[in-house]
Amino acid sequence: MKRTELVLLCVLAAGSLFAGPQGQGAGGKVKIGITKIAQHDALDACERGIMDALAQRGIDAEFDLQNANGDPNTAAQIAAKFKSGKVNVAVGIATPTAVALANAIKDIPVVFSAVTDPVGAQLVPSLNGSPGNVTGLSDAIPSVEHIGLFKEIAGIKTLGYIYTSSEANSISALALVEEGCKKYGLSLVTQAINTSADLRQAALSIVNRVDGIYITTDNTVYSALPALVQVFSAAKKPIFGGDVTGAMNGGVMIASGFNYYKAGLATGNIVADILEGKKPSDIPVKFLTDPSESDMLFDLDAAKNCGITIPDRYIRQANLIFENGTLTEK
């Protein structure tokens, strides 16, 4: 046997030791980096869903879990860590962390989750599969329809909206809120914040000028949601949230949106597909459109506090009811 043939056979034999999902080592484990912009119930549930999906797919994974604590600079540092640490797939939960990963990493797959407008955030040029190493899941919600429902149930005439000026998803959501107010003849009062520490003061500055407040999937707002609930509950004014997970502790009169744990499962399946050989460029952006992937919650305690009666036909549609301090799932 020629020396070159012997060398080739040795290389092939060595390669067979590392057979399995992309980048899998001899120990059978792949390394997945997951970074989220902040710690709150919805993003935590998404993170759990990702890990559970990989386990359900039979993928033995080691996870590097990181939290940027609402700081874009920290998000960039985490992205650099994942790049130098050679994770097999880098996952960014929420827009700022996903953007940080996509900007820093070009040679390994990047999967985003809970990003409202991935095209507007320049993560992908198209929703239908894009050249490059980035794909993922969008958490876009039907804000225009939400505002119509809020007006019908609560009878509001002036809507409040607090958003984070540095979050691309919140800027995109603002355009939909403006569209909804125009469509349903509501006045809109907005208040921008920079950090979660600003939320209480923002709520105090806006509460006496509005009939109720709508919050989308703004991660900075949700990370300090109890402060907003306290201010609006004291004023006996209703809250409508686009994130059901964050509303399960009470205080948000209406919450409608998809289930973040199920969003995590869907994101984890995208990661698994990539580990099993699929290219990110061949995977369109995922949206949760099945009704079973969404939740609707009515907080009857909050409604009573605001002097609002929620029609029975809507209560029958909800799968979650908060009443007498207890959450019940239908």
Q: pLDDT tens digits for 171-198?
A: 889 999 999 999 999 999 999 999 999 9
The per-residue pLDDT for 292 is 80
The per-residue pLDDT for 27 is 54
Lowest mean pLDDT across 55-59, 129-133, 241-245, 303-307: 129-133
The per-residue pLDDT for 2 is 40
Q: Which residue has the tokens 């050679």?
A: 86
Is pTM beyond 0.85? Reply is no
How far is the C-alpha of 295 from the C-alpha of 277, rounded, in Å?
Answer: 33
Per-residue pLDDT at 16 exceeds 70: no
pLDDT one-digit tens code per residue, 28-55: 689 999 999 999 888 999 999 999 999 9
What are the sequence ranges of the domains in the chain?
Answer: 26-140+260-290, 143-257+292-329
Q: Quick one: 26-140+260-290 is in which CATH superfamily?
A: Response regulator (3.40.50.2300)
Q: Quick one: 143-257+292-329 is in which CATH superfamily?
A: Response regulator (3.40.50.2300)
Per-residue pLDDT at 127 exceeds 70: yes
Q: State the chain's mean pLDDT as an integer.
A: 90
Q: Do the first three CATH levels of 26-140+260-290 and 143-257+292-329 match, i.e. the same topology?
A: yes
6 CA to centre of own chain: 52
Q: Tell me the CA distances in angstroms from 234 to 39, 106, 197, 237, one per residue in order.
A: 26, 49, 19, 8
Q: What single-letter amino acid sits at 262? A: K
How far is the C-alpha of 217 from the C-alpha of 36, rounded, in Å?
Answer: 14
The per-residue pLDDT for 3 is 40
